[in-house]
Structure 1
Amino acid sequence: MNRPLPRLSVALLLAAALLAAATACTDREAQRQAQAAAQAQAREQAAAQLQRDYDAAVAANNWELARVHGAALLAQYPGTPAAAAVEPALAEVAARAEAVRERRRLAALWDYARVAAGKGEQRSAAILSMAPVDTGGAGPAAVQLVLRDHPQWKRSAYLVLQGGDFDCYGGCKVKVRFDDAAPKAMSAWRPRTDEAIALFIEDHRGLWRQLRKAGRVEIEFPVKAGGARAAAFEAGGLDGGQMPGWD
């Protein structure tokens, strides 16, 4: 038969149990705090690494990469010292990145070609109109603007249609507008040939000079279908280095 424990023994056991429970709670809290501190430190270290990547991209003028690192830093590690350091300049970095992207887009609109011609080489730069134009053919189609340097025919600038025809066989005037400037009349002519539906602009030098400064050019020309049509080109990405001697 078991004897009941003395009251003192019961009290001691109860105190020991309470002490053990309190110690366990204290240990768990300390463990939780240590874990939280470690996570916070790891978070700040990761944020600091992204800031270093961001700073390196900015120093290299790689605005697109800098925007990626900066946006990731603010999204993943808000409230960190690294995020606070990067945030004030991120809007400007994003604007510069967008400008780089836009320059690349404009440059890609131009198509450059180099082909053997006679005893030399023909170079050309060509761009398609921003929107299709109804010139009296089977339906609206892009108009092409070409700048050409030929060893025999020399330099020229002309428009090419995919359908319809220009009404300019005896010579005519086209209206050329650069950006928001007033339209300028320029002499043009349509050669009597079936090789291409082309309209040559006589002042190719003046056209080139303005193209090198303008972001957009619109050319209005007469067509056989009646009246005039206008083709607009985003010309701001023209690379002068592709046409040596034109500048």
Structure 2
Amino acid sequence: MMRARALGLGLAACAVLLLAGCEHGPTAAQREAAAQAQAAAQRLEQSQQEFKLYHEMLARKDIQLAASLGQQIEQMYPRTPAASAVARDLPALTAAAAKQAHAQRLAALWDYQTGVPMAGGTQNTASINDTRSDGSQGNIQLILRRHSAWGQSVYLYAQAPGFVCKSICRVPVSVDGGKPQGWAAYLPPTGEPALFIKDDRRFIGMLEKAQVIELRVDLKQGGARTLKYEVGGFKPASFPPLAKKG
């Protein structure tokens, strides 16, 4: 009986001690350490998810998005295995992404139209606007045209009243910052605000290998002006010859 009572008292004492321990709980330092460990585990998991997406973008050859994700991993998850792995390839990847973005910008400057019905036949054109000194697009077009009746032409097209050119004039043209060379040009007899380059075939051949072409022209309103064309994104395949008549 007494043994049973003593056992009961012992169990009660243990219960009191246990309750006292629960009431006190972990210390502030322990709670802080647990929170830090949980946050670190979450950061590690998130970095691994970002790293998986980074590799998916690389596999899809979307190097611009991959470079952006890589930079994000480095900034948001430093000192993680994902950040260390990304750091090895990120400089080269960032450079490649910038080069791709530049090429895409240049390609987007061109507008192509094929098989367009026009007076006297059909035509294929490739056109690009001049680039102003502040990087914005101007309103004077450089146009390459292949017309089923009129043949191939290269010309500048502006708003009226157009260009100054008497008979055959010489237009200074420089390629990629080189020394300007005079190209023969003329106004159309029909009076459009255009200026035609006489040797269209040679001009297109030069353009296909150039990055920037600058032409010095005289405008009826505005005087002498240098027109800059960022032609490096030109795609010859998008400006095809006209189909030969059967």
Same-fold status (TM-score > 0.5): yes
Q: Is the 8 A contact 2:174 2:215 kept in 1?
A: yes
My pick for the range that moved more, 225-234 or 199-208, is: 225-234
1:39-188 to 2 correspondences below 5 Å: 39-114=39-114, 115-117=116-118, 121-131=122-132, 142-188=139-185
**Other-structure match for 1:231:** 227
Q: How far apart are residue 31 of structure 1 and its match? A: 6.7
Cα deviation per residue 1:70-122 (whole Å; 9 max; x = unaligned)?
A: 12212321221111111232232222222222222222221222312468531
User: CA 1:168–1:21 in structure 2 vs 1: closer, same or farther (change >3 Å)?
Assistant: same
Q: CA deviation at 1:64?
A: 1.3
Q: In structure 2, the residue corresponding to 1:129 is in which secondary structure?
A: strand
Length-normalised TM-score, structure 2: 0.77
- In 1, the alpha carbon distance for the partners of 2:28 and 2:171 equals 85
1:221 pairs, out of 217, 223, 229, with 217
The one-letter code sitting in structure 2 at the alignment partner of 1:146 is: I
CA separation of 1:20 and 1:32: change in aligned 2, threshold 3 A: farther
| Counterpart AA for 2:124 | R
Q: Which letter does structure 2 place at the counterpart of 1:92? A: A
Q: Mark the runs of 5 or more structure 1 residues left unpaired by the alignment.
A: 1-12, 133-140
Cα separation, 2, equivalents of 1:65 and 1:226: 43
Instruction: Give how far 1:20 is off.
Output: 4.5
Deviation at 1:57, TM superposition (A): 1.6
Whether the aligned pair in 2 keeps the contact of 1:169 and 1:192 (CA below 8 Å) is no
Whichever residue aligns with residue 58 of structure 1, its letter is L
User: 3-state SS of the aligned residue for 1:142?
Assistant: strand
Residues in 2 aligned to 1:29 and 1:166: alpha-carbon distance in whole angstroms: 81
Percent identity, aligned pairs only? 34
Report the alpha carbon displacement of residue 68 of structure 1 after superposing the two structures with TM: 2.4
How much has 1:32 moved relative to structure 2? 5.9
Residue matched to 2:195: 199
Deviations 1:115-168 (A, max 9, x none): 124685311111111129xxxxxxxx7321110010011111001121344332
CA displacement at 1:230 relative to structure 2: 2.0
**Which amino acid in structure 2 is aligned with residue 102 of structure 1?**
H
Do the aligned residues in 1 keep the contact of 2:146 with 2:241 (CA within 8 Å)? Answer: no
Structure 1 residue 236: Cα displacement: 1.5
Please tell me the residue identity of whatever aligns with 1:76.
Answer: M
Unaligned stretches of 5+ in structure 2?
1-12
- CA–CA separation in structure 2 for the residues paired with 1:222 and 1:188: 12
Q: Partners of 2:27 and 2:171 in 1: how far apart?
A: 87
Could you say what the CA RMSD is over the residues aligned between the two structures, in angstroms? Answer: 3.2
Distance verdict in 2 for CA 1:30–1:176, change over 3 Å: same
